[in-house]
Chains A and B, each alone.
Chain A
Amino acid sequence: MITPQMEEYLESLGKLQERGESLTPTALARELHVAAPTVTEMLHRLTEQGYITYEQRQPIELTAAGVAAASTVIRRHRLWERFLQDVLGLRWDQVHEQACQLEHVTSPELEQRLARAAGEPDSCPHGHAIPAGDNVVSETSAIPLSSLAADQAARVISVSEEPDLLRRLNAVGIVPGAELHIEQAAPDGRLTLRIAGALRELAGADAARVQVVSLAHSNDALPGSKPDAVVSLADLATGEEGIVHGFQAGRGLVARCLALGFTPGTPVRMLQNLRGGPVIALVRETRVALGRGEAQRILVSPTPAAELAQPAVVEAAHD
């Protein structure tokens, strides 16, 4: 028998795993806002019931049943958040608390109806992906906003759920999907950001709780200053090239992209990318038209402009 408290623990473990953090009792206690000794007792109960494997001084591992239970709770939680915000009109800083209660009293049938009523969303209001099946979506391709330097651009992927933080973020316009440019990074971590044309300030501690993907550099940035930057395919301008890095998409889209030749490590060239509308990319000698939404889900590392002049780069990337 799985209790609400156990669900709460599994959910937190699932979220740690999503972020690619190691599953330790300390991390779990921090996530749950409880004292470390409290955690240990529950960990033993979860081990007994086969949801996790856990031994002292070893990282916790979710079993298949644990992953299934965790993803179910996470899914219900995020569906409720969507429903509460989109359908019932609650603010995004109110929905998390409510969803924490509701997620434990949700039957599979209710969950299904909820998903339908909320329009089968694929992410929660805070930008976290809603797992479709018994799996935990990996969010590791996003990085904290605080890890970016001045003069870099980024798109917000997700934010943490603390109500106070959400109110502050909302005030400066940081919501999933927003694009921003870092004008200044003070030594104490305070960032000056340009969002939708306006200059905004954000404390360093808050910036650490915003997950972003870095966008292509503005023209005045040094080419090649950060070769590992990952952007979405939709961020490549016409004529720019990049190497496929990965995906932020569901299984179906990933499989289609792979079959068409967008495998990690493959060079792609943007043939047409105008403002809005679909794009055309050249991959493995094939012209592929992609909707903008689809192109945004394919991650690429842009090839620095300086190297574009040498055709050898494309050849070398084949190997």
Chain B
Amino acid sequence: MTDTITLTRQPLIALAGSPNVGKSSIFNALTGLSQHVGNWPGKTIEQKSGAMHLDGLTAEIVDLPGTYSLSANSLEETLARDYIIREHPDLVVVVVNAAALERTLYLLAEIVELPSPVVVAVNMLDVAREQGLRLEPEVLEAALGVPVVPLTATQADGCCQLQQVMADVLAGRHQAHPRPPELGAALDALLDEMEALLADDAPPEYPRRWLALKLLEGDREVSALLRARLAPERWQAVDSLLGRHEDAVLTIAGARYEWIGRMTRAAIRRPPAGAVTLTERLDRVATHPVWGIIMLAGVLGLVYWSVYQLSAPLVDLCNLGLSALTQALHAALSSAPWWLSGLIADGLVGGVGTVLTLLPVLVLFFAAIAFLEDIGYLARGAFVADRFMHRLGLHGKSFLPLFLGIGCNVPAVLGTRILDSRRERLLTTLLIPLVPCAGRMAVLTYFSGALYGSYGTLVILGLLALDVSAIFVSGLVMRKTLLQGASSAFIMELPLYHLPNPRTILLYTWQHLLDFIKRAGTVILVVSLVIWLLSALPAGDINTSWLAALGRWLEPLGSLMGLDWRMLVALLASVVAKEQTLATLAILTAGSGRALTAVLPSLLTPAAGIAFLVVQMLFIPCVGTISAIRSETGSWGVTLLSVLYLAVISFGTGILMYQIARLAGWGV
């Protein structure tokens, strides 16, 4: 049969699977670069979709969030199941992991209850083979009654057969007879009773048996839906049936696993027990409370060291190119009005360009993160960090985004996506700007060197100590006030270690980079132009500009810290990018004709210098981070809170330090 697929619309395919089954490898292999990364409507959870070609026909494929089950325990699970139920995909591809077949089939046991046709992709055959597991896909296919395709998505032609089977199913060339899990006579009778109670009042878009199952599993969302929908006395009957079968949730899960056991028993051959695997040997070090911490510090230290080693020449190159471009633009626009050349050369290229010179650092960082995640190490890092994160009301997983912040706060904020509860995402997001990023550290190092000479290193160490205490105190304060509640349960799979897949790493890096560039092209562009305008208008002289007026207006605040308006403007400029402080001060003091390092001691008394460094250390993050906070939390309120909080504690600590230092006699 070679007839083409005849469908009235573009076929829609959903890709489902538990975490750590290599779902994104399959998605990348199926779609290549034709991916679109967005958010689920109204949600901050990433939605990836893409186009794929099947038998000369283009299908849309949507990557559902990775979930272990379809109970409404998390936003991800709700999204995944609502998508399958409401959008009626023409095909759901369920990805399972050959090396953990039973557990990853649990999601399939839930999905086959839903009406869409299903294909099972058994991924990670290579990992299973390393473990000594042998899988017989035909046996599994016969048992399940749906097509089963074994593959290793990380290999070049891994997905050919899968694409063929997907095309066959869409064209109706595959006769599937799915067998939903048999849950046993007792549960079946209970389900029948529940279905009868729901009768015709149940919302028609949901399969009734599925609703009955979810009710018995204690699903909050389905319960709320039916409570609102059913007549009160009917709901009371349902509720009392539920009350009599409170432990049904255990029985159902048990029955599903029993079914999975029956399905897989004949299809999988296990190795003789007792062989020590690679994962076991590596974990003896990686999850050890002492060696594990040392290893984590070593791995992350190596990442930072190599990122900076590799990126420093690239950043220099970018800076050279940027200043050349600025000069060329000034030259080319010399006949244009001053404001036009200034706007383009200094505002646009100077502002956005400066931020874009961070690209090499970001590329290498994203690649390093993707690498550590892909080989399975990141989960171990979170595990060993759990012990001390608990003191902040967070758990191990929050450690990862916080640590990323030392490189750049932007990927750190994006990294909070891995956290389970909104409370933890918010708390971590609010703490991230307190982690000094590379740009901030560069500015601080410059200043402490210029102001305190050989004591500079000591000052930096003191600042870092202050910063770490600020993180801990802020964590404790927020935990006790705004973000109360227990930390969410720390349950996390530790995946098997495996070889990195370059394709996954490249795509991850590419997508995150694209995200950053988009932001540079929008928010950062606008803010840079505004700042330049403020520094140029009304007369084209920075000393009489509106920015200077703003700085002078803030002088009462500055006088509490011994800072004049130029230092305040330099601080405010750090909101564009942390490096901007230096550039701004250089412009503001350009009249003196001396190098900035020589001018600084005359601008700042030692006490004011300390205040300035403290404020710079704890100050409002850069626009890139602020816009990341806004887009990740989806809330202007939280973004504003973060900015206000940091402004208050940075100025507060700065004023305090200045007054103490002045009392100590450093004020002259």
Contacts and interface: CB of A to CB of B under 8 A. Distances in A.
Contacts of B484: 116, 119-120
B8 interface: no
B456 interface: no
Contacts of A286: 100, 103, 493
B240 interface: yes
A289 interface: yes
Contacts of B379: 289
Contact of B492 (A251, A252, A288): A288
Contacts of B387: 276-278
A252 B73 CA distance: 6
A277 B289 contact: yes
Interface string B490-531: 111111100000000000000000000000000000000000
Contacts of B396: 278, 289
Interface stretch (A151-159, A174-182, A259-267): A259-267
A255 B249 CA distance: 8
Contact of B279 (A246, A255, A287, A293): A287
B467 interface: no
A20 interface: no
Contacts of A277: 289, 386-387
Interface string B625-653: 00000000000000000000000000000
A137 to B, nearest CB: 9
A265 B254 contact: yes
B246 A138 contact: yes
Nearest to A265: B254
Contact of A254 (B249, B287, B494): B249
A62 B101 CA distance: 43
B102 A291 contact: no
A44 B100 CA distance: 56
Interface in A255-291: 255-261, 263-266, 271-272, 274, 276-278, 280, 283-291
A289 B279 contact: no
Contacts of A251: 218, 220, 249
A186 interface: no
B386 A261 contact: no
Nearest to B280: A271
A291 B394 CA distance: 11
Contacts of B73: 252, 255-256, 259
B493 A278 contact: no
Interface stretch (A63-71, A92-100, A197-205, A222-230): A63-71
B100 A284 contact: yes
B493 A253 contact: no
A300 to B, nearest CB: 14
Interface string B46-74: 00000000000000000000001101010
A251 B243 CA distance: 14
A11 interface: no
Interface in B468-491: 484-487, 489-491
B254 A263 contact: yes
B126 interface: no
Contact of A256 (B68, B279, B382): B68
Interface residues of A, number: 49
Q: What range describes how many residues of B lie at the interface?
A: 35 or more
A65 B250 contact: no
A235 interface: no
Contacts of B287: 272, 280, 289
A192 interface: no
Contacts of B289: 274, 277
A261 B490 contact: no
Contacts of B294: none
A121 to B, nearest CB: 9
B492 A65 contact: no
A81 interface: no
Interface in A301-317: 311, 314
A206 interface: no
A67 B491 contact: no
B373 interface: no
A278 B490 contact: yes
B336 interface: no
A318 interface: yes
B275 interface: no
B252 to A, nearest CB: 8
Interface of A: 62-65, 67, 116, 119-120, 122, 134-135, 138, 246, 251-261, 263-266, 271-272, 274, 276-278, 280, 283-291, 293-294, 311, 314, 318
Interface of B: 68-69, 71, 73, 99-103, 106, 217-218, 220, 236, 239-240, 243, 246, 249-250, 253-254, 257, 261, 273-274, 279, 283, 287, 289, 379, 382-383, 386-387, 390, 395-396, 484-487, 489-496
Given A251-B220, A280-B383, A287-B495, 18 more contacts: A251-B218, A253-B491, A254-B250, A260-B493, A261-B106, A263-B254, A277-B289, A277-B387, A280-B287, A283-B103, A284-B102, A284-B103, A286-B493, A287-B494, A289-B490, A291-B490, A293-B490, A314-B273
20 contacts: A120-B484, A120-B486, A246-B250, A251-B220, A253-B491, A256-B68, A256-B491, A257-B491, A258-B69, A258-B250, A260-B103, A261-B257, A264-B254, A266-B257, A271-B283, A274-B289, A278-B490, A280-B287, A287-B279, A290-B492
* Across the A-B interface, the 6 shortest Cβ-Cβ residue pairs: A291-B490, A259-B69, A258-B253, A259-B68, A287-B494, A64-B239
